[in-house]
Amino acid sequence: MTYSQAVLKGDRLALSRLLTQVENDTSEGRAALIELFPHTGKAHLIGVTGAPGTGKSSLVNQLALHYRKTADKRVAIVAVDPSSPFTGGAVLGDRVRMRDLSGDTGVFIRSMATRGSLGGLARSTANMVQAFDAAGFDVIIIETVGAGQSEVDIARLAHTTLVVEAPGLGDDIQAIKAGILEIADILVVNKADRPGVDNTEKALKSMLELAHPTERIFQHHGSSMRTVAPKQDSSSALLWIPPIQRTVSIEGKGIVELAEAIARHAAHLTQSGDWAVRERARIEVELDALIVAELTNRFRRDLPHKQYENMLEKIIHRELSPGEAVKLLMESGLK
């Protein structure tokens, strides 16, 4: 039986081994993803991002518990932590906060290291999510690395993105900077039992008032890309205003309300047509990335190594600029 057949039958070990193949981008992993692709597109992908220490893992733990208890949804969690830029090693510690979920076969937690990727996710996170989707998980929660200001890949992958904040992390100037706060579909103020929570919420609120409502159009390869459906009328009735939800995740406070906000957002995506637009944007980014990788591989394979080395030497000796070199290589490589 192939990986994909076993995965579709609900074999957990096969799923786990497939995730490794996908993460390592092996030919077996690629072949299985091709077979599994028709079975994807059903899960609700929820992204959870925010600065280190805001309580993302604990929040994911509580959300998953909530979905298991109230809705009997099967939940997969992909938790990303950083790899060392020097040794390539990693300590993946998100499971420590998710021990409440063990013993439940309706939950599958997989930790992954970024392996040099910088956008808050690893290169193969999207593919691992696809494998979970095909395996029939209803909700897939993707927890990014502790993200600062520009780790915004998650918004391209997830249907609903939660940005987790905690009191005491920054003032209202931080809140109007571009980047991570902009990608929030729902803003979560976690650790809401801490002092300063009112100020944090106020700063986020004023940020929303300054910036919203607006249409979200991603910049992709320098060109813009829609993630919301074009609206027929000029009314803002169909624009989503990110709600702010207070939580104390270690005590489970605010989790029911947060799950309700997530459900409202999912309903909004379907009603407004944004779900389809986001799917399209995501698949377009994926397709482009695959094309770029394949073209690069093919070009490097066809180009004599010596020619490449010569070019490199010339650039190092300032006889040629990298721009000129690319032009020359392209002309000679694409005979």
Contact between 16 and other proteins (CB under 8 A)? yes
Q: 24 or 307: whose CB is closer to other proteins?
A: 24
Residues with Cβ < 8 Å from 185, sequence gap 6 or more? Answer: 160, 161, 162, 240, 242, 265
Residue span 55-84 as binding mask against other proteins, x where in contact by CB under 8 A, dash where not: ----------------------------xx
- Please state the closest distance from residue 331 (CB atom) to other proteins, in A: 30
Q: 21 or 190: whose CB is closer to other proteins?
A: 21
The footprint of other proteins on this chain (CB under 8 A) covers a number of residues equal to 30
* 3-class secondary-structure state, position 121: coil
User: Interacting stretch for other proteins, rule CB under 8 A, among 13-21, 144-152, 275-283, 311-319?
Assistant: 13-21
φ/ψ of 246, rounded to 5, equals -85, 140
- Please state the closest distance from residue 122 (CB atom) to other proteins, in A: 10
DSSP of 260-274, one letter per residue?
HHHHHHHHHHHHHTH
Residues with Cβ < 8 Å from 190, sequence gap 6 or more? Answer: 50, 54, 55, 58, 59, 164, 165, 166, 247, 248, 249
Contact between 17 and other proteins (CB under 8 A)? yes
DSSP of 138-161, one letter per residue?
SEEEEEPSS--SS--HHHHH-SEE
302: which 2 tokens? 């066809």
Q: Please report, as residue ranges, which positions from 79 to 138 form the binding site for other proteins (by CB under 8 A).
A: 83-84, 87-93, 95-96, 99, 102-103, 108-111, 113, 115
- Please state the closest distance from residue 216 (CB atom) to other proteins, in A: 32
How many residues does the structure list for the chain?
Answer: 335
Q: 89 or 323: whose CB is closer to other proteins?
A: 89
- b/e string for 262-295 if b means 16 or more Cβ within 10 A? beebbebbeebebbebbeebbeebeeeeeeeeee
- Please state the closest distance from residue 206 (CB atom) to other proteins, in A: 39
Q: 16 or 307: whose CB is closer to other proteins?
A: 16
Binding-site member from 5, 25, 52, 321 for other proteins (CB under 8 A): 25
Footprint of other proteins (CB under 8 A): 12-13, 16-17, 19-20, 24-27, 83-84, 87-93, 95-96, 99, 102-103, 108-111, 113, 115
